Amino acid sequence: EPEVTQTPSHQVTQMGQEVILRCVPISNHLYFYWYRQILGQKVEFLVSFYNNEISEKSEIFDDQFSVERPDGSNFTLKIRSTKLEDSAMYFCASSWASGGASDTQYFGPGTRLTVL
Amino acid sequence: AQKITQTQPGMFVQEKEAVTLDCTYDTSDPSYGLFWYKQPSSGEMIFLIYQGSYDQQNATEGRYSLNFQKARKSANLVISASQLGDSAMYFCAMREGLGTGFQKLVFGTGTRLLVSP
């Protein structure tokens, strides 16, 4: 069964460093998303991406964040200068469409980011 | 105002029994979708079931069913014949404006389910 994959599973970085989180969405999906979950809290939307551009973003997704689809399979989230409060689990998700039952978003296993 | 409210931080159920996890939502959009996800201790988010606001029947997927009461704005998840592997965190989520291009899911705070032998 197709699935979303994410690498690395755990990333430890120093405050101020840049990190790139990688995702391979399900191959025939067209919409891609990043969410984050701070430990013990609910899952929060960061950004959605379609047709090589951001279609929606949250207030959390400020200038420190960027997303890219560098090739036909990968989808990346870059945090330019990490802060302590960026420590969280980051989930990538993908969906085939954006309306009705077919818009179910399938999540990857997550990358746990720890900023020291 | 909270868009998605899950009032049960924790629930306990015995193996083979049924359990209902509550979810209420708040939206003025007539077109929306409701989702339930399971998050085991390993951390991944597993899609369980979907209900569209215009769906006439309650959604079912195997042992999972969604008790959708539109007038009360509730979308409770019912797990029948609980198994030990059902022990996990369960999140209710909503997406508004289906078909408009807005895609974000809004999640509740989750309910931790513990199934005992």
A28: CB partners within 8 A, 6+ apart: A2, A96
**pLDDT tens digits, A84-113:** 999 999 999 998 876 666 578 999 999 999
Q: What confidence category does residue B82 fall into, taking pLDDT thresholds of 50, 70 and 90?
A: very high
Compute the average pLDDT of residues A65-91.
Answer: 94
DSSP B54: T
**What is the percent of chain A with per-residue pLDDT over 90, rounded to a whole number?**
72
For the segment B42-57, the average pLDDT, to the nearest whole number, is 91
Question: What's the pLDDT at B116?
Answer: 96
Q: Does A91 touch chain B (CB under 8 A)?
A: yes
pLDDT value at residue A98: 61
Contact: A100, B47; criterion CB under 8 Å:
no
- How high does pLDDT run on average in chain A? 92
Integer angstrom CA distances of residue B77 from A44, A92, B37, B64, B68: 21, 24, 10, 7, 9
B73, two tokens: 């704005």
Pairs of CB atoms within 8 A across A/B? 73
Of B98, B103, B110, the CB nearest to A42: B110
What average pLDDT score do residues B87-97 get?
93
Q: Which DSSP category does B15 fall into? A: T
pLDDT for the residue numbered B100: 66
- Averaged pLDDT score across all residues of chain B: 93
Interval A50-65 mean pLDDT = 92
Closest residue to A48, CB basis, from B42, B93, B104: B104
Q: Tell me which chain A residue has its CA closest to the CA of residue B32.
A: A100
Q: What is the pLDDT of residue A44?
A: 95
Q: Which residue's entry shows tokens 């997406």?
A: B95
Whether B77 has a pLDDT exceeding 90, the answer reads yes
Give the model's pLDDT for residue A104.
87
